[in-house]
Structure formats: structure tokens, C-alpha cells
């Protein structure tokens, strides 16, 4: 591992923050915290923390010595000075006199000594930083260091690797006791450059930001060098299928097995994030996977994101998915029982009784395929997957030179159910479409873009499909930047299949499909060229069929219902003069909606449509609005509001109807009209 320190960058941080009143110490603290946080081999998702001791001037003009320490909720990779709240140091130091200190009292005391009351909570490891005398202290959960400390003889190997340069702290849960123990270890030999926290991570310290940071790099490099010596590779399991099933086949089946049926068509679903690489495959295909993967996390901090163990699934073989599903279902059930038993066993021993968290896995290992992160959102699933990938690296290295050994489960339980750790996970009510995956075709503009945005706003993971890749990308960005943009010509069945596979590969499955793409063709029905009519049928009918078929394929694989939504049109009900080429396939699509409701109601799949009229979009261009309003002697405004209510209908109004239909678990075979009132197009 190389030091990324640069004098020029360091100076740039000092210069950048000086106008905000941030002193040199804190600016450099931000700089090296980001250097550490930018490397996943050192820091992952809120793990790790740093501090500096410095002097600041308070409101009275008096100089105060403070500890600026990482605040909870900040990531080291993109931290700002506000993410390192200043706590008065002198009162923190006095705490060392106490024999014991309850976690809540510790948090309260730390908050009470913040210089800025609106700051985030200082890290749970604040006192450890406070009790050590150094100006700069860096703490990471370095993968290489964990590979060494997580060996049965990790203590001895670390002593051999780091010698007297480091102090060695036995495993103690973070908090007051660990802070005191770390300070004691340091004081036994004040010459050390840092501390190895067995089964937890590493601290380095120094008089300057650069010294603490470069000591971290130097120590981690020593660990990496040790892991290069005398390696033996993981042994592959025998009998893995030669022809494995694909990710696109496996993911929806797994997602369905994880979904919790809450009755009446409501499911608690999960979003998945798949990862595969040669290293991941070597790990999940390993003959001893069941031994090394099922012991526990590599550092206790990961427990809240991944639970203590991943669920271990069978290897899926092409053409034998039903067998695989049975095996996977049994494995998930076994995981849940194991989790319940683990909770009951450890809760019985706990002095303060806990409430059991949900028993579902957050990581699934699939031999022959790879691994899935599982979460309540794409973001949470990605965090679980990132940690799982890191775990693969860490355990693979431990196994290369020995055998991985996790902490005993009571230590992991203590951390998983520690109130301060749970506080790191944001709480609050979930949005109505949280955990759901929504696909919108023709999502690049007009009604499609508005619909994609409306679902994203309500918490859905959204995939925007559009023929125009730039429009798809722009619309996906407007969904808060987290949507998937896919270029797809829906009149090409292979392209539709590929796009649906891509969505499944990205999120694990699909719950709602808005088949919206369409375009208007005109012509008098008695004379229109057959080719025009057929082209319109390709887009305005057959594309809906191909989209809906793919949706049903994924939804039935999941076995947890779903919602199909079609954008039909006023034309489907009330034909416009010379609009036969557009209206005829739209009328067929209205019937298509009913046929899906009829044939797939038994699968819990609902099928509904929205009839909209006169919406500014790709179908109704600015030029068309101008010419039509002129032809009728109306202003554009009056033309657009030419309905019973005299109100212009917007793409957002139509989007709201799609969202309502997707939410309404007891509505199917329904057409909702959103047109401001058009009696000829009214359905009943
Ligand atoms: Zn830590």
C-alpha cells in the first residue's frame, strides 16, 4: 500500500478551508481522513474514524483545547470539517477516573461538551481518541490487518509482524472499557506508533496528520507483505454444475423466496446487488465454504450491515431451477431458524433484554455464480455487497496462511444489539414504494419521465427504458440520480428481453412495469398504407405485449405478484378522425390489459391502464399544439384546457394515476381516465 500524501494537496486543503475559519490542523485532518476513506481496503461505509487535538477560540475569545473526532453518520471518504465535531478535551479526560460509564451517559456527556450543539454525535470511539495523547489519530478496519488478527494465533502473528512498533489490545467492545484498556496498553510502552485491536482493527498516531497517516500505510503494508508469504490457494469444490443457471434466471427466484407475504398482495420485498469476480468465485466455489463463511464477520462493526453470517445457497444448474428453488428455500428457512436460536441463546444471557431484529440474511453466497448483497434499498444492498466483497478478500487471505476465526457469537451479539450501533442505521417510516423495483418504458420524456420520477420520489428503485439513451440517462438523473438508464427499442423483442434481464441483474427483480412507450401515426383508414398500420401495431400493440410478457416472466419467477400498467389513450375508447392507425392498436392494447388481468390474476399480478388525453409530450408536439389550436380558433392555453373542467392536464397528473394504480392492491382490469373530462372518452 502506497502513501498518497501530497504536499500540494495538503496545502490546497488548508487554503480551501481557511476562509471558513477552519484551522490548519482540522484542514489536514479532513485531507488524510479522506485519503484513508477513499481506499476500501482500509475503510468501508462509515467504518473507521480519525481525530485531531487542536485549539480553537470560543465565543468569549478564550482558547479551548478540543478533540475534533469523526461524527456519526459521516463517511471518511467525503468528510467535511462539519463531520469532525469539536468536543472540549479537558472534561473528556476527567472521565478516565471513573470505574464504569454507561453508553448512554457517555454519549450524553460527549454531546454536552460539543462546541456546536447542532453537531452530529461524536464517534463511539471518541474516548479512545481522547485518552491517547497524540495530536493526530487514525483508525481503520484494514482488510490486511484483520486477515492477520482473525487467525486463531492472530495475536502471535501480529507481534511477529509489527514487533514493538505497535501495542496489542485484546478484543473489547467499543466504548469506555476499550478506551481505558487502549490507553493502558499505550502507556506500558509510549514508544509505540499505534495499536492493533485484535479482531477489530488498527490505530496509528503521530504528531502531524502526515505522520499518523503514513504510519497507517506502513503498518498495513507490513500486514500485506506477511500475507504474501507461504500462501496456499482455496481448494475448489467438486461437482459444481458445468452448466450453471444465469444470474437473470436465479435472481428473481431468490428475490421471491426472500419476500415476506403480508397478505392481500402486500409483500415486504428486498433489493439485491450482485457481485462476481474471479476472487469471489474462488471463494464461493471453495470446498470449505461452509466452514470459513459461516463463522462470523471479520470485524464486529459489519454485523449491523451483513448480519453475522451469509446464507449459503446451493449451486444453480441450468434447466433445474425448480430443484434449486427448493434447496434455496430450505437454506433460507435454516438461516432464519439459526438466527432465531442465536438471538434466543444470547438474549437469555443479556442483562438488558433486547427486541429481535428481522431474521433475514443480508448476504447470499451462490457457488458457481457469485454473491448477493440484500437490503431494503439499492443503497443498503450495495453496502452489504461491498462489505461481503471485502469479507471475501479478508477471509481468502486469512485462509491462505492459516484458518479464519471470527469472534465468539456473544461478542457479535453484543455489538449487533448495541443501541449505539443500531443508531448508525437510519430509522423512520419507509416510503410507499421502498423495496420495489419499477420499470418505465418510454421513460425518457413526457409521461414516462414524469412517471419514473414520481415512483422514485415514493422510494422505488427505478429503471428508465427509452429508445434514446441520452433521454433515458437524463430522466434517470432526474429520479435523484439512483435510477438505472437503459437504451431499449421496445419493438425488438430481443432488446426487451435484454433490458428486463439487465434490470433483474441490477436490482434482483421487478415489481411494477409501466408500459408507456408509444407514438402516433395518422391516416384515413380506407386508404392508409398497410405498412403504416403495421408499424403502429408494432409499437402501440406488440411492444406492449412483449413488455408485459417479460414482466410476467420475472414476476411469476418471483411468485410475489406485481403490477402491470399500460398507457392506453383516449384513442382506445374514442377514435379521432384520421387517427385509426394510432387508435386501433391502442384499442387492442386496452383489451390486452384486460386479458392480462384475466389470465394472471391467479398469480397476484394486477393489470391496469391509464387513459390520458392532450398532454404535452413527444406525442403531442409543440408544433401540433400550435396548428391545432389555430385550426380551432383557440389560444394554445384554451386548446390544452379544452375539457369539461377547463384545466390543462400534465404529465405529472398522469404519473399520479399510475402510482395510485400501482399502490391499489385490490384494483385490476381498471382504466383510469386522466383528461380533465371528455365525455366521449369516458368509460362509465
Ligand atoms: Zn473500529
Half-sphere exposure of 177 (CA within 13 A, CB side): 8
Predicted confidence band of residue 165 (pLDDT cuts 50, 70, 90):
very high
Q: Which among 648, 675, 669, 672 has a CA at the least distance from the CA of 660?
A: 672
Predicted confidence band of residue 425 (pLDDT cuts 50, 70, 90):
low
204 pLDDT higher than 90: yes
pLDDT at position 621 is: 83
pLDDT at position 144 is: 97
Between CA 570 and CA 288 the distance in angstroms is 62
* The total number of residues written for the chain in this structure: 684
Percent of the chain with pLDDT over 70: 99
Measured between its terminal Cα atoms, the distance across the chain in Å is 71
Q: List C-alpha distances in Å: 290 to 293, 320, 360, 614.
A: 6, 23, 18, 60
> What distance in angstroms lies between residue 676's CA and the mean position of ligand 1's atoms?
59
Read off the pLDDT of each residue in 327-335 and give the average, rounded to a whole number: 98
> What distance in angstroms lies between residue 49's CA and the mean position of ligand 1's atoms?
7
Half-sphere exposure of 535 (CA within 13 A, CB side): 10
Q: Which among 457, 443, 532, 529 has a CA at the least distance from the CA of 490?
A: 443
Between CA 544 and CA 593 the distance in angstroms is 9
pLDDT at position 8 is: 98
> What distance in angstroms lies between residue 72's CA and the mean position of ligand 1's atoms?
12
Each residue of 251-292: pLDDT tens digit? 999 999 999 998 888 899 999 999 999 999 999 999 999 999
> What distance in angstroms lies between residue 475's CA and the mean position of ligand 1's atoms?
40
What is the torsional sign of CA 528, 532, 534, 537? negative
Between CA 17 and CA 22 the distance in angstroms is 5
> What distance in angstroms lies between residue 43's CA and the mean position of ligand 1's atoms?
10
Task: Tell me phi and psi for residue 406, to 5 degrees.
Answer: -85, 175
96 pLDDT higher than 90: yes
DSSP run (H or E) holding 342:
helix 321-349
pLDDT at position 428 is: 73
Top mean pLDDT of 297-311, 412-426, 499-513 is at 499-513
Between CA 451 and CA 437 the distance in angstroms is 13
> What distance in angstroms lies between residue 201's CA and the mean position of ligand 1's atoms?
6
Q: Count other Cβ atoms within 10 Å, centred on residue 288.
A: 12
Catalytic residue among 17, 31, 582, 596: 582
249 pLDDT higher than 80: yes
> What distance in angstroms lies between residue 358's CA and the mean position of ligand 1's atoms?
25
> What distance in angstroms lies between residue 391's CA and the mean position of ligand 1's atoms?
16
| Cβ neighbourhood burial of 669 (10 Å; 0-12, 13-18, 19+) | middle
pLDDT at position 352 is: 85
Between CA 419 and CA 413 the distance in angstroms is 12
Each residue of 594-623: pLDDT tens digit? 999 999 999 999 999 999 988 987 678 888
> What distance in angstroms lies between residue 157's CA and the mean position of ligand 1's atoms?
20
* pLDDT, averaged across the chain: 95
pLDDT at position 351 is: 86
Concerning whether 582 is annotated as a catalytic residue, the answer is yes
Between CA 151 and CA 170 the distance in angstroms is 14
> What distance in angstroms lies between residue 124's CA and the mean position of ligand 1's atoms?
9
> What distance in angstroms lies between residue 103's CA and the mean position of ligand 1's atoms?
16
481 pLDDT higher than 80: no
Residues 6+ apart with CB under 8 A from 311: 331, 332, 335, 361, 363, 364, 365
375 pLDDT higher than 70: yes
Between CA 443 and CA 200 the distance in angstroms is 46
Q: List C-alpha distances in Å: 44 to 40, 60, 384, 387, 530.
A: 5, 39, 10, 7, 60
Percent of the chain with pLDDT over 90: 88
pLDDT at position 684 is: 65
Between CA 547 and CA 542 the distance in angstroms is 9
Q: List C-alpha distances in Å: 71 to 74, 80, 83, 96, 424.
A: 6, 10, 5, 21, 11
Read off the pLDDT of each residue in 452-480 and give the average, rounded to a whole number: 96
Cell triple for residue 428? 423512520
> What distance in angstroms lies between residue 612's CA and the mean position of ligand 1's atoms?
56
| DSSP letter assigned to residue 408 | P
Cell triple for residue 474? 437524463
- Which residues are within 5 Å of ligand 1 (an ion), measured at CB? 201
Residues 6+ apart with CB under 8 A from 143: 41, 42, 298, 390, 393, 394, 397
pLDDT at position 59 is: 83
> What distance in angstroms lies between residue 563's CA and the mean position of ligand 1's atoms?
44
Read off the pLDDT of each residue in 67-92 and give the average, rounded to a whole number: 95
Given the DSSP bridges, would you call strands 311-312 and 363-366 parallel, antiparallel or unpaired?
A: parallel
Each residue of 624-641: pLDDT tens digit? 899 989 999 999 999 999
> What distance in angstroms lies between residue 197's CA and the mean position of ligand 1's atoms?
8
pLDDT at position 73 is: 87
Cell triple for residue 346? 444470547
What is the torsional sign of CA 397, 403, 406, 407? negative
426 pLDDT higher than 70: no
For cell 461524536, what's the residue?
122
C-beta separation of 115 from 66 below 8 A = yes
* Angle in degrees, 0-180, between the axes of helices 580-600 and 530-537, rounded to the nearest 10: 30
Amino acid at each position: 500500500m502506497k502513501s498518497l500524501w501530497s504536499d500540494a494537496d495538503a496545502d490546497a486543503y488548508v487554503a480551501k478551508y481557511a476562509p471558513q475559519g477552519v484551522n490548519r490542523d482540522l484542514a489536514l485532518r479532513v485531507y488524510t481522513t479522506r485519503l484513508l476513506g477513499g481506499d476500501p481496503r482500509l475503510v468501508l461505509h462509515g467504518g473507521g474514524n480519525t481525530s485531531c487535538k487542536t485549539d480553537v477560540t470560543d465565543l468569549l475569545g478564550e482558547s479551548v483545547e478540543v478533540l475534533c473526532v469523526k461524527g456519526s453518520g459521516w463517511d471518511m471518504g467525503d468528510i467535511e470539517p462539519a463531520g469532525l465535531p469539536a468536543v472540549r478535551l479537558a472534561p473528556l479526560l476527567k472521565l478516565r477516573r471513573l470505574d464504569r460509564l454507561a453508553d448512554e451517559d457517555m454519549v450524553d456527556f460527549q454531546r454536552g461538551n460539543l462546541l456546536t450543539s447542532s453537531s452530529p454525535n461524536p464517534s463511539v470511539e471518541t474516548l479512545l481518541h481522547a485518552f491517547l495523547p497524540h495530536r493526530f489519530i487514525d483508525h481503520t478496519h484494514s482488510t490486511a490487518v484483520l486477515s492477520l488478527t482473525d487467525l486463531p494465533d492472530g495475536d502471535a502473528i501480529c507481534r511477529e509482524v509489527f514487533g514493538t512498533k505497535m501495542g496489542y489490545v485484546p478484543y473489547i467492545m467499543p466504548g469506555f472499557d476499550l478506551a481505558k484498556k487502549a490507553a493502558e496498553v499505550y502507556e506500558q510502552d509510549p514508544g509505540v506508533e499505534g495499536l492493533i485491536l485484535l479482531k477489530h482493527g488498527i490505530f496509528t498516531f503521530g504528531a502531524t496528520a502526515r505522520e499518523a497517516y503514513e504510519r497507517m500505510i506502513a503498518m498495513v503494508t507490513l500486514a500485506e507483505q506477511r500475507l504474501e508469504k507461504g500462501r496456499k490457494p482455496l481448494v475448489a469444490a467438486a461437482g459444481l454444475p458445468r452448466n450453471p443457471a444465469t444470474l437473470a434466471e436465479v435472481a428473481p427466484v431468490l428475490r421471491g423466496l426472500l419476500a415476506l407475504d403480508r397478505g392481500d398482495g402486500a409483500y415486504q420485498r428486498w433489493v439485491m446487488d450482485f457481485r462476481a469476480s474471479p476472487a469471489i468465485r474462488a471463494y464461493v466455489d471453495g470446498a470449505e465454504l461452509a466452514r470459513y463463511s459461516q463463522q462470523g464477520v471479520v470485524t464486529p462493526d459489519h454485523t449491523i450491515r451483513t448480519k453475522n453470517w451469509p446464507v449459503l445457497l446451493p449451486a444453480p444448474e441450468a434447466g433445474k431451477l425448480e430443484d434449486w428453488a427448493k434447496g434455496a428455500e430450505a437454506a433460507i428457512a435454516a438461516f432464519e431458524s439459526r438466527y432465531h436460536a442465536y438471538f434466543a441463546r444470547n438474549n437469555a444471557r443479556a442483562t438488558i433484554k433486547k427486541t429481535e431484529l428481522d431474521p433475514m440474511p443480508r448476504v447470499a453466497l451462490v457457488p458457481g455464480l457469485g454473491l448477493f448483497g440484500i437490503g431494503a434499498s439499492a443503497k443498503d444492498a450495495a453496502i452489504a455487497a461491498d462489505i461481503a466483497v471485502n469479507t471475501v478478500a479478508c477471509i481468502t487471505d486469512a485462509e491462505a496462511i492459516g484458518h479464519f476465526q471470527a469472534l465468539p457469537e456473544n461478542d457479535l451479539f453484543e455489538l449487533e444489539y448495541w443501541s449505539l450501533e443500531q443508531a448508525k442505521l437510519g430509522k423512520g417510516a419507509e416510503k410507499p414504494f421502498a423495496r420495489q423495483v419499477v420499470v418505465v418504458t418510454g421513460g425518457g420524456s413526457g409521461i414516462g419521465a414524469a412517471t419514473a420520477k414520481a415512483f422514485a420520489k415514493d422510494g422505488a428503485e427505478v429503471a428508465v427504458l427509452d429508445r434514446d439513451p441520452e433521454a433515458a440517462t437524463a430522466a434517470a438523473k432526474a429520479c435523484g440520480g439512483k435510477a438505472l438508464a437503459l437504451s431499449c427499442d421496445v419493438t425488438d423483442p430481443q432488446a426487451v428481453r435484454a433490458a428486463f434481464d439487465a434490470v433483474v441483474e441490477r436490482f434482483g427483480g421487478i415489481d411494477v412495469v409501466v408500459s408507456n412507450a408509444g407514438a402516433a401515426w395518422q391516416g384515413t383508414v380506407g386508404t392508409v398504407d398497410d405498412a403504416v398500420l403495421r408499424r403502429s401495431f408494432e409499437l402501440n400493440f406488440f411492444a406492449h405485449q412483449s413488455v408485459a410478457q417479460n414482466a410476467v416472466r420475472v414476476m411469476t419467477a418471483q411468485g410475489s405478484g406485481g403490477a402491470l400498467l399500460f398507457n392506453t389513450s383516449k384513442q382506445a375508447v374514442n377514435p379521432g378522425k384520421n387517427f385509426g392507425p394510432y387508435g386501433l392498436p391502442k384499442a387492442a392494447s386496452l383489451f390486452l390489459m384486460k386479458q392480462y388481468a384475466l389470465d394472471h390474476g391467479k398469480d397476484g399480478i394486477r393489470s391496469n391502464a391509464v387513459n390520458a388525453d392532450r398532454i404535452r409530450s413527444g406525442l403531442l408536439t409543440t408544433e401540433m399544439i400550435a396548428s391545432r389550436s389555430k385550426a380551432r380558433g383557440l389560444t394554445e392555453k384554451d386548446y390544452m384546457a379544452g375539457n369539461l373542467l377547463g384545466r390543462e392536464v400534465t404529465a405529472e397528473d398522469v404519473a399520479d394515476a399510475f402510482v395510485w394504480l400501482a399502490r391499489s392492491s385490490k384494483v385490476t382490469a381498471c382504466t383510469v381516465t386522466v383528461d380533465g373530462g371528455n365525455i366521449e372518452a369516458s368509460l362509465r
